[in-house]
Amino acid sequence: MHLLLIGHGYLGQAITQQFRASGWRVTAVSLSGGDDTLACDVAEPLAVAALGRLAAPDLIIHCAASGRGGAEAYQRVYVEGCRNLLATFPGVPLVFTSSTSVYAQTDGSVVTEASPTLPERDTGLMLLESERLVLGGGGMVLRRAGIYGPGRSVILR
């Protein structure tokens, strides 16, 4: 089995370890490449098309970070990235790791999957648009919360 992993930060590295331990072949992609990853800007259709010339994946997981950018970075990495992956790999399941920032609640109230998705920020709107693209293409969305990586857990402290 072959996993195409988009994003190889804290979460992507953990996914790589788990999938390889289960016998999967993992092709990891990051914007700049290096550290056993291929370089690819998923916002660029031609770059993603070049990935399509590799061995076909059985699964794609998109867990790339926006680089702490604003709405423009979110548009490129998430919306355009998902759109390009769906176009290049039709029929291959795509899992998109989104965020709980698609919810408007910031008052400490309980949020569930049934809570309305009414983000107040542009970045939340971009994530919601990406989710709709992925779900419309037959993929799956995982909304994660509080994944910051080693040394970046200020909220937890």
| Confidence at residue 50, expressed as pLDDT on a 0 to 100 scale | 93
153 or 121: which leads in pLDDT: 121
Reported as a pLDDT band with limits 50, 70 and 90, residue 150 is: low
Question: Domain for residue 152, yes or no?
Answer: no
Distance (Å, whole) CA 64 – CA 107: 28
Reported as a pLDDT band with limits 50, 70 and 90, residue 119 is: confident
Question: Domain for residue 22, yes or no?
Answer: yes
76 sits in the region (left: phi over 0; alpha: psi -120 to 50; else beta) called alpha
State which residues form the domain around 60.
Answer: 2-144
Reported as a pLDDT band with limits 50, 70 and 90, residue 86 is: very high
Strand partners, 140: 95
22 or 156: which leads in pLDDT: 22
List the alpha helices (DSSP H) in the chain.
10-21, 45-52, 71-74, 81-88, 122-136
Question: Domain for residue 93, yes or no?
Answer: yes
| Confidence at residue 89, expressed as pLDDT on a 0 to 100 scale | 96
CATH assignment at residue 90:
3.40.50.720
Q: How many domains does the chain have?
A: 1
Question: Domain for residue 39, yes or no?
Answer: yes
pLDDT at 40 over 90: yes
Do 8 and 66 contact (CB within 8 A), yes or no?
no
Q: Which residues contact 25 (CB under 8 A, 6 or more apart)?
A: 1, 2, 3
Question: Domain for residue 153, yes or no?
Answer: no
Tokens 């809570």 -> residue: 115
Report which of 73, 75, 5, 3 is spatially closest to residue 40, judged by C-alpha positions.
5
| Confidence at residue 144, expressed as pLDDT on a 0 to 100 scale | 84
Question: Domain for residue 107, yes or no?
Answer: yes
Tokens 């788990």 -> residue: 18
Q: Which amino acid is at 110?
A: V
Q: What are phi and psi of 93, to 5 degrees?
A: -60, 130
Question: Percentage of the chain surpassing pLDDT 70?
Answer: 92
Question: Domain for residue 150, yes or no?
Answer: no
Question: Domain for residue 157, yes or no?
Answer: no
Distance (Å, whole) CA 114 – CA 65: 25
pLDDT at 151 over 80: no
Reported as a pLDDT band with limits 50, 70 and 90, residue 152 is: low
